[in-house]
Amino acid sequence: MNTDNNLQNYIDKLFPQFEPALKQVLIESGSIKSFEDGEMLMQTGQNMRSTMLIIEGVVKLYREGEDGNEFFMYYLQPGDACALSMICATKQETSQVMAKAVDSAKGLLIPISLMDTLMKEYKSWYYFVLETYRSRFEELLSVIDNIAFKSMDERLDFYLKKLYRDLNNRMLTITHSQIANDLNSSREVISRLLKKMEQRGEVALYRNYIEYLK
């Protein structure tokens, strides 16, 4: 039984489409876990014992290459679920991606033993899972389009715009090196492109953050 008194409020606010019986199952069987800024929620090769719904904060998903380089995929917001964790949990496979908290975050953990039951007995959960798969697939298509068909300055502009929209904050606390890692580029290239954007009045560069002005 989950003892967090806020869980009912989280579910009512973020998942109003869930039927009352489903909400009750999540309250009784789910558990809330808190993550600090930069803490890993999921790592490559990890066995998935549960799937997770994000209920607070922002989570960054990325894939790590054999050389240790990181490839940014997308962000998860409150009300989102990780489609890949759902697949791995259902099929009892290990994770192929990594997930890290941006600032502090909270997740609602749902045991994998419930996945089949939720899919079969609750239509709102079934449609939620389908919508999660669809939206994450569209996110990945957007990433692929940017890599395959756009120049680095266009990719940088898209990245900053998406970061601003995902975080709902024009003050982006991120370093040039972190951006370079996410875009699989070098810090020198990113710094040069950011300087050009600043000259055009699209961003303002500060020591510890970037202000997105577009």
Angle between helices 20-29 and 7-14 (to 10 degrees): 140
Q: pLDDT at position 115, please?
A: 87
DSSP-derived letter for residue 47 is: B
| Cα within 13 Å of Cα(197), Cβ side | 24
Q: pLDDT at position 2, please?
A: 47
- Predicted model pTM: 0.81
CA dist 109 and 99 (Å) reads: 14
Q: pLDDT at position 214, please?
A: 87
CA dist 134 and 136 (Å) reads: 6
* Nearest-5° Cα angle at 75, 27 to 173: 115
Q: pLDDT at position 125, please?
A: 96
- Phi then psi dihedrals of residue 127, to 5 deg: -70, -30
- As given in the structure block, the two tokens for residue 209 are 């953050």
Q: pLDDT at position 32, please?
A: 93
The torsion angle over the Cα atoms of residues 48, 54, 60 and 65, rounded to 10 degrees, is: 10
Which portions of the chain are predicted below pLDDT 70?
1-5, 68, 89-92
Q: pLDDT at position 3, please?
A: 47
| Nearest Cα to Cα of residue 70 among 47, 91, 36, 44 | 44
CA dist 16 and 117 (Å) reads: 20
- Phi then psi dihedrals of residue 96, to 5 deg: -110, 5
Q: Which helix (H) or strand (E) holds 101?
A: strand 98-111
Instruction: Put the strands of the sheet holding 210-212 in their side by side order.
Output: 171-172, 210-212, 203-205
Q: pLDDT at position 30, please?
A: 92
Q: pLDDT at position 90, please?
A: 66
Judge whether 146 and 158 are in contact, CB under 8 Å.
yes
Q: pLDDT exceeding 70 applies to what percent of the chain?
A: 95
Judge whether 168 and 115 are in contact, CB under 8 Å.
no
The overall average pLDDT reported for the chain is 88
Q: pLDDT at position 213, please?
A: 94
Residues in the chain: 214
Q: pLDDT at position 89, please?
A: 66
Q: pLDDT at position 1, please?
A: 42
3-state class (DSSP) for residue 74 = strand
* Each residue's pLDDT tens digit, 155-197: 999 999 988 988 888 999 999 998 998 888 899 999 999 999 9
CA dist 153 and 159 (Å) reads: 10
